[in-house]
Structure 1
């Protein structure tokens, strides 16, 4: 007679009375791209700040924690991540301790905070009492079974028209459940240096997309920043650890959306032919920006938008980084470089600034004249009299107006006087 199939091996049960250690939470935010959700971990530094603010007290209504180098604020009570310098849809934030593997890309997805607390409580009881094979049901009627600390599974419910509770064998393929972020495969950055040495404004070119992958200016500038951080880590790691150098902050300057929010798109739509629809709308969004900039009507709008946006970003940056003393640079791509060129060459300086520059120029000119006289005295081997000429504020022009009487009154002896007068006479004859 045929033998019955061997029974499936049960997972080994741990001994009762195990030691329970609380799980270490990590904070994540939900990034939505093309209706697809992806949970991204905050850096180690940001997660620690969020956890510290979370544990500081129950009153979290007005608690805002800056993250991602100060470019995003997390509103702790609302659990939202909000962009500071540009417009972006707020992202959901979650304090994560338990995860299950998704069905599409095998990425781990965090459970809700409330259900994670239930799982943690069940896990604590199971570890403490040694009573495993605990079964929990989530609010979505999903079943989670805790077999042992290393084997925990998640079953999705089967769609049915009745209310009968299905057993795990009827619920399809189980999914892995993990406790703690250290047990899932995810790369968590350490965080960005707090010190900022330089600020760069990046102005985009034609159209809303900035590269062949049709990414926005914000995404492209993020790449600039990431490359800069990786170069710091690769070439200036020791100096960075000793806090001798900081990082470079890149901020995007968006003018396209402001231009196309003036109602120009409505006018374009009225005169756009229905044929080759996608191509015509692509041209309206991109190539026509060049013609807009060449028109007297919209050129000033674009320039004013870029200037006001950079000033707004700079003011906001200084408010959030009051200790910043570094330099500011601007970078432009395609049409953006032309906009910046026109902006820099045609801007008018403040009257007080012009006066300050003029005074500096006069001071520099005067100092240059004194240095030139010192060089002449060195050539004549009369360096010991440099202090005398500097005290009398003698520049090159004053030197060539000197007479023997003037030099004598300055206390210059006869020999040096003759050398200086001969030099002046020879130079005058050459002219």
Structure 2
């Protein structure tokens, strides 16, 4: 005979009731596999509940709990808590969600870990609140009450709509009670599996019980950073229809895994989250082809810059010479803090024109779509050019050029002021990095400070994989201060910065030199080469071997005819006015076997994943610049045969 006493939970009260009954330390988690919202995708809706949750650091957990207790009891308006490494993210307690503080990124659900399922996943806030309220109403010292009591939730959850408590810390959530008294007896005896009992077994735990295990899971994922450049081969092959269907299916799964690892690694939170001292703020502006990997959406550039930040910290930790630079500058935490913060500026999604072939122009829907005017031949190549080249065409059109410069200026200033607000006392230097078209945008902004005014002075300006050289050549503009003897119709431009750098890979088809635009005689001299930072990994060793082979071939091609000489003082003066070293162009040598189209595409998008680039940027940012008295250059020899 079915004999059930079902107690219906009372309507839920305010959050302050919930908080007042929880006094032990709790874990805080965020979802990593299913976002709640996506920027630039207003119609996005999650198709399932998140299944993967990562724990915040112990420091974040303690601060979140303390703030939550205060917020829940007083219901103050301020509900954002800065969290994660360098406080780059916020937890919104009112909506229980995690989002990036400085750039557009997916928003993820946050859960306060009190009740967990058998896979150590925290239950939702609504379900947890009902469980806690019902638990507070039960007398666990009176077995008779438990034998005749089943709680029915006020709503149906994914796990079920009924709960049976075994003890204070164990319960089963059920979809139904078809098994009657037998099912209840098996549950209370705790001798059968949840699957046979048609229920979900849940546990109540505290901070000490679960934190260690969750941290191990997070640390494991942090070692699996995904690289955008790893996928360029498959992107290009797919555009030309070369991938076999089975291989494409496997690669698609691999891409999804990489994307998830990217999101998890970007929310790096196991180090100290207290705001460290920052003396150098670096703002990075992206360039063309940000829609090339459409499946990565906004994760693309923000994730890449997160990688650059991680590389800089790793390099600093392993470099006594870099640490000494901060020591000389009098920084108290010079042993473990590089004192540099790197943030992305993502402008492309704010510009109306869409490179999606079928997307309508939001500014004038009567215009045809890109697909309407596309010729049918070599569609793969056309799609690639559409992703990479259209942004350059946009910047050549006055309407979009004005819009892009205005938008980038606004975002840079807003990010700068937001950083100052979140980093009280910051009075250090600000540096700019522009990648590809981003460098040209920054160049024009810095050359027109009367119109596109930045709210700070720029120390170092790094152009990376930059087409500035060819643009300025077409515009009949030279670089540097004007000279009296030059032709009247020849323009000279000088960006407002202390030091200008032009970094490029010799295989990058988008990059051009700048020094010959300062003085045409610089075309006869080689650019400088970035020193290679040797690592211990097999990949690093292969790159070192490849670089050595290239260097040997390069030297042989010159037939030992290199001629080192001191640069003419007139040219040197023009160059040192732009960079204290007297050189602007710095190149990475080509890696091992980098000779094909795919390698060229990789070269253009992989700068921020390169440890040599990160090492050079960090060294130049931290160094105290002293103007070079003389500049030694090498003649550029033309290869023959």
**Both proteins in one fold, TM over 0.5:** yes
Distance, in Å, in 1 between the alignment partners of 2:411 and 2:318 is 33
Q: Matched residues in 1 for 2:338 and 2:31: separation?
A: 29
Equivalences for residues 22-421 of structure 1 within 5 A? 23-31=24-32, 32-33=34-35, 35=47, 37=50, 38-56=52-70, 58-63=73-78, 64-68=80-84, 69-88=86-105, 90-101=107-118, 108-112=121-125, 113-115=128-130, 117-118=132-133, 121=136, 140=157, 141=160, 152=170, 154=172, 157=175, 164=178, 167=183, 170-172=196-198, 177=203, 179-181=205-207, 182-183=209-210, 185-187=213-215, 189-194=270-275, 195-209=277-291, 214=296, 215-231=299-315, 243-244=333-334, 245=337, 247-260=339-352, 263=362, 266=365, 267=367, 269=369, 271-273=372-374, 284-348=386-450
Question: Offset at 1:199?
Answer: 1.0
**What is the rounded CA distance, in whole Å, between the counterparts of 1:211 and 1:234 in structure 2?**
33
- In 2, are the aligned partners of 1:210 and 1:217 still within 8 Å (CA)? no
Cα drift, residue 88 of structure 1: 4.3
Partner in structure 1 of residue 561 of structure 2: none
Counterpart contact for 1:207–1:256, Cα < 8 Å: no
Root-mean-square deviation (Å): 4.6
Gaps of 5+ in 2: 1-21, 36-45, 184-193, 216-268, 354-360, 458-641
- Cα displacement string for residues 216-274 of structure 1 (whole angstroms, at most 9, x for unaligned residues): 32222222333344455566899999634464222211121122368468546163449
Q: TM-score normalized by structure 2?
A: 0.41
State the distance in 2 between where 1:180 and 1:93 align: 17
Larger radius of gyration: 1
Structure 2 counterpart SS, 1:183: helix
* Conservation of the 8 A alpha-carbon contact between 2:25 and 2:65: no
Name the structure 1 match of 2:577: none
Q: CA deviation at 1:114?
A: 0.3
Cα–Cα, structure 1 residues 205 and 264, in superposed 2: closer, same or farther, change >3 Å? farther
Return the alpha-carbon distance in structure 1 between the equivalents of residues 279 and 142 of structure 2.
Answer: 55
CA contact (8 A) 1:203 1:337 kept: yes
Shift of the 81–348 alpha-carbon distance from structure 1 to 2, 3 Å rule, reads same
Q: Distance in 2 between matches of 1:281 and 1:211?
A: 12
Q: Secondary structure at the match of 1:73?
A: strand
CA contact (8 A) 1:155 1:171 kept: no
Once residues 131 and 307 of structure 2 are traced to their aligned partners in structure 1, the CA distance between those partners, rounded to angstroms, is 34
* Contact 1:144 1:155 survives alignment (8 Å): yes
Range that drifts further, 182-191 or 259-268: 259-268
Is the contact between residue 23 and residue 97 of structure 1 (CA under 8 Å) also seen in structure 2? no
